[in-house]
Structures are given as C-alpha cells and as structure tokens.
Amino acid sequence: MTVLEPPATRAGRLGWAVIDSLTIAGRTYSRLRAQPGELAGFLVFPIIMTVLFGYVFGSAITLPGGGDYRSYLMPGIFMQVAALTAVSAATSVSEDMALGLVDRFRAQPIARSAVLAGRSVADLSIHLLSVAMMALCGVLIAGWRPHGSVSETLAGFGLLALFAYAMIWIGTYIGLFVKNGAQADAATFGWLFPLTFLANAFVPLEGLPSWLRPIADWNPMSAVVSAARLLFGNPGSAAASWPLRHPVTATICWSVLILSVFVPLAVRRYRTATSR
C-alpha cells in the first residue's frame, strides 16, 4: 500500500481539516443511529419542559406587563435547551477520552482541530433538530407564534444556535478534564441547570431580591432569552440593565467571547491530553 503524504500547501491542509471534521461528524450520526433511544431523549426533553412549564406552572404565573405566559416561556425553553448542549458535549468527549479512542485519533494523521470541530458541528446539528421539534410543539401545543418578520424569526433562531454552539465548546473543554461520563454530567449540568433558572427564562426578574437581581441581569442566558423574545415578538419584561436593553448585541458579544476563550483552550488541551 502506498503511503500518503500530508498536503504541502495551507489550502490543502485546510481541505483535509474540513474532510476530517466531516468524517468525525459522520461518526456522531452513526452513533445516534446505533442508539435511537439517545436521540429520542434529545427530542423528548424539550417537549416535556414545554408541557411542564406551560401547563403546570403556566396557570399560576401572571406576567407583570400582561401577555400570554406560554408565549413568554417558549424563548426561555429554547435558551435552556441551547445551554444544556454543553452537557452532552462534555459527556461524549469524556467517554472518548476514557476509552483511549482519543489516543488513536491523535496517532492518526488528522488535523489537530478536526476531532473537536467535527464533534461540535454534529452536536449543533442534532441540537437544531431538537429545536425544530420544540418549535413545532410550541406552535401545536402551547399556541406559541413568532410575530416578527421571517428574517427576524430566522435571526432569533440564529442567535440561539450561536449561543448553543458556544455552550458546546464550554462542554467540550470540561469533557477533556473529567474522567468519565458521570463526572462530565455533574461538572456541567450541576451548575448550568440552576443557572438557567437564575435568568429571565421562566419568571420575570422584577420579583427577584435585589442582591440576586444583578446576577440575573448580567447572566448571558438572560440576554439570549431577551434577544429571542425581541426577535420573535413575544412578550417580555422591562429591561433594567445594559445587556437586556441591547440583547442582540449582548448575545453576540457573550457568544463570541465564550468561543474565543474556549475553542483555543479546548484545542490546546486536546493536543496534550492523555487518556489516563
């Protein structure tokens, strides 16, 4: 068998990096096909959240500014599911590390960033699938409607996807440190889930005690939810802080900041990571 040589040009290397990323993404899809239960989990969790909050709590919560609570809620749930992409990213990366699969990848002539990049793209596409499911449920079950123009609606989903992608990289970085899937879950879900409640996702911030209020105001998740509400034309609440008065800018800033910190950190960690 002839030995392949790595491409000599920058463009050639980039081409290989893209192909490698797609191959790795393909692996993630094959894994999902092998365990349909996992995929069902991704899709069912958002539906449960929609029903649970919309009907169980929805009847007891009235918005200070008026408006339908279930329409208020949907952008919050979109954001929560986007934030929790970090959990599955961390779990799957840590499992590869524990299996020694990462060693095999690293001893192969794969572009250094491709394993993580391919994975993040696959995770994002799965996330988008579950967002589509949720939007459908929202429309059918909760009576949710985006009231903005088509481009505003798409921009809203685009911002949510950008935030999800940033969260995937936080999860990826954490996944490179922990020893197994259970630890990965604890090291992400453990702080992320409570944090999604310390935001304007489910309740208006007006009712929060004054010492908690700044945290919720500056929580990136609040900005994401406000941006989505703004672009979808769903009811929101009065904005007191800068990020909530400029939620679109704030969401983009937060996401770009997270990506510019965690992508280089994760890639660097991956280069030197060992499976034990």
Partner 1 sequence: MIHAEGLRKRYGEVDALKGVDLDVPQGTVCGLLGPNGAGKTTMVRILTTLLRPDGGTARVAGCDVVADADRLRHRIGLAGQHAAVDELLTGRRNLVLFGRLYHLPRRTARRRADELLERFGLAEAANRPVKTYSGGMRRRLDLAASLIVAPPVLFLDEPTTGLDPRSRLALWDLLRELVSDGTTVLLTTQYLDEADRLADQIVVVDSGTVAASGSPYELKGKVGGGRVSIAFREVCDLSAGVEVVRGVLPGEPEIDRAERRLTVAVEDGAASLIRVAAALDAARIDVDDLGLRRPTLDEVFLQLTEVTEVNAA
C-alpha 48/C-alpha 31 separation (Å) is: 24
Shortest Å distance, C-beta 91 to partner 1: 13
C-alpha 194/C-alpha 243 separation (Å) is: 20
The single residue listed with the structure tokens 């660097």 is 268
CB-wise, 4 or 150, nearer to partner 1? 4
Q: Is residue 86 within the footprint of partner 1 (CB under 8 A)?
A: no
CB-wise, 26 or 64, nearer to partner 1? 26
Q: Which residues contact 208 (CB under 8 A, 6 or more apart)?
A: 216
Contact region for partner 1 (CB under 8 A) — 44-52, 75-83, 95-103, 151-159? 95-103
CB-wise, 37 or 209, nearer to partner 1? 37
Shortest Å distance, C-beta 102 to partner 1: 8
Which of 17, 18, 63, 101 lies at the binding interface for partner 1 (CB under 8 A)?
101
DSSP string, 118-172: HHHHHHHHHHHHHHHHHHHHIIIII-----S-HHHHHHHHHHHHHHHHHHHHHHH
Shortest Å distance, C-beta 62 to partner 1: 47
Shortest Å distance, C-beta 212 to partner 1: 42
DSSP string, 5-52: ---SSHHHHHHHHHHHHHHHHHHHHHHHHH-HHHHHHHHHHHHHHHHI
Contact mark string toward partner 1, 18..57, x via CB under 8 A: -xx--xx-xx--xx--xx----------------------
Shortest Å distance, C-beta 121 to partner 1: 16
Report whether 237 contacts 62 (CB < 8 A).
no
Q: How far apart are the first and last CA of the chain?
A: 33
CB-wise, 147 or 179, nearer to partner 1? 179
Footprint on residues 57-76 left by partner 1 (CB under 8 A): none
CB-wise, 19 or 135, nearer to partner 1? 19
Number of residues that bind partner 1 (CB under 8 A): 29
C-alpha 149/C-alpha 161 separation (Å) is: 18
C-alpha 148/C-alpha 156 separation (Å) is: 10
- Give the footprint of partner 1 on this chain (CB under 8 A): 1, 3-6, 16, 19-20, 23-24, 26-27, 30-31, 34-35, 99-101, 103-110, 274-275
